[in-house]
Amino acid sequence: MGKAIEIKEICKSFGEKKVLDGISFSVENGEIFGLLGPSGAGKTTLIRILTGQLKGERGEALVNGINSSELTGRECRQFGIMMDDFGLYERLSCFDNLKVFAGIYGIGKSRIYEVLEAVGLGNSVKKAASELSKGMSSRLRLARVLLHNPDILFLDEPTSGLDPATAEEIQGLILAEKAKGRTIFLTTHNMAEAEKLCENIALLDEGKIVEYGNPQEICRRYNHRKMLKIHLKSGEDMEISHDEKSAEIVAKMLKDGTAETIHTSEPTLETVFMTITGKELAK
């Protein structure tokens, strides 16, 4: 397992505003990595730097061992990039949208049908992109990204603004790509999505990485309260400490059948982010 992405001390400013301030982390091959942060935290800027669309002022961003500022078009073909603002040819059908890129990549028509089927647009092949719902447009943009079987996928807020069912479908597709061994770098402000998909995440705030690691480990690391939340059949809620002393109480409640649900009180990524920055992640 080599490193697919390596970022060392990347800095980027727009005018007076410092958007990225000494960012460093790496992503292993075949990993799903999530960059989490509120809007304006610098997530999209980092993707643009990684894909060679922007240049960092300081530091180094290596993708497949190549400095991202020196990526050629040929090397970019190994990536699939789904940015929020990358549009579609609205007047063309789903099939024709992909046919443009199939032509550029030298891919046959059968792959177009295959990938449209995979993203659930098999019945909308002839539908114009302008007639697609937001969820279907996202799926078509994902199909465009997957068309040429890239090694690394850069997905910028892939489920942003989608209904839960469509978001879950997209997440399923992302996991399917991971199963094929692809490296996936995604940005999101949806912590549930990050916990579900990502092996590692970085929390980004005001251009700085404020936390990095496996989502579950991060949550455990911030589990200072260590309490058990018990909902009783009588409708009452109670909290007891999560230690040896409580074992007897819990055992008794289970024996009596007085406890309806028992939960540990580990923080979510949202609460971790709030603990660190004092801000909400989803804003």
Partner 1 sequence: MRNISVIFLKQLKDTLKNKAVLIQFVMFPLMAVIMENAVKMEGMPENFFVKLFSVMFVGMAPLTCISSIIAEEKEKNTLRVLMMSNVKPFEYLCGVSSYVWLMCMAGTAVFAVCGKFSGKDLAVFLLIMAVGIMLSELIGAVIGIFSKNQMSATSVTVPVMMIFSFLPMISMFNDKIEKIANLTYTQQLSDVVNELGNFTVTVENILVPVVNFVFAVVLFVFAFKKRGME
- Compute the least distance from the CB of residue 105 to partner 1, in Å: 7
Applying CB under 8 A, among 57, 90, 163, 239 the residue interacting with partner 1 is 90
Q: Which two tokens stand for residue 275?
A: 């603990």
131 binds partner 1 (CB under 8 A): no
Dist. CA 127–CA 95, nearest whole Å: 8
105 binds partner 1 (CB under 8 A): yes
73 binds partner 1 (CB under 8 A): yes
- Compute the least distance from the CB of residue 32 to partner 1, in Å: 21
Applying CB under 8 A, among 1, 16, 70, 106 the residue interacting with partner 1 is 106
- DSSP track, 105-171: HT--HHHHHHHHHHTT-TT-TTSBGGGS-HHHHHHHHHHHHHTT--SEEEEESTTTT--HHHHHHHH
Region binding partner 1 by CB under 8 A among candidate stretches 33-41, 100-108, 170-178, 259-267: 100-108
Residue whose CB is less far from partner 1, 103 or 108:
103
The answer to whether 100 and 89 have CB atoms below 8 angstroms apart is yes
Nearest to 131 by CA among 172, 103, 91, 168: 91
Region binding partner 1 by CB under 8 A among candidate stretches 85-93, 110-118, 197-205, 246-254: 85-93
Applying CB under 8 A, among 101, 210, 221, 271 the residue interacting with partner 1 is 101
- Compute the least distance from the CB of residue 36 to partner 1, in Å: 24
- Compute the least distance from the CB of residue 104 to partner 1, in Å: 5
Q: Which two tokens stand for residue 148?
A: 């040429």
- Compute the least distance from the CB of residue 45 to partner 1, in Å: 15
- DSSP track, 74-111: HHHTTEEEE-TT----TTSBHHHHHHHHHHHHT--HHH
* Collapsed DSSP state (helix, strand, coil) of residue 195: helix
Region binding partner 1 by CB under 8 A among candidate stretches 96-104, 155-163, 164-172, 257-265: 96-104
Q: Which residue has the tokens 């699939």?
A: 80
Residue 53's Cβ-count burial label (10 Å; 0-12, 13-18, 19+) is: middle
189, HSE (Cβ side, Cα atoms, 13 Å) = 17
Region binding partner 1 by CB under 8 A among candidate stretches 82-90, 174-182, 183-191, 193-201: 82-90
Applying CB under 8 A, among 6, 28, 96, 260 the residue interacting with partner 1 is 96
| Binders in 30-59 for partner 1, by CB under 8 A | 51, 53
Task: Provide the binding-site residues for partner 1, judged by CB under 8 A.
Answer: 51, 53, 72-74, 76-77, 79, 81, 83, 85-92, 96, 100-101, 103-106, 128, 144
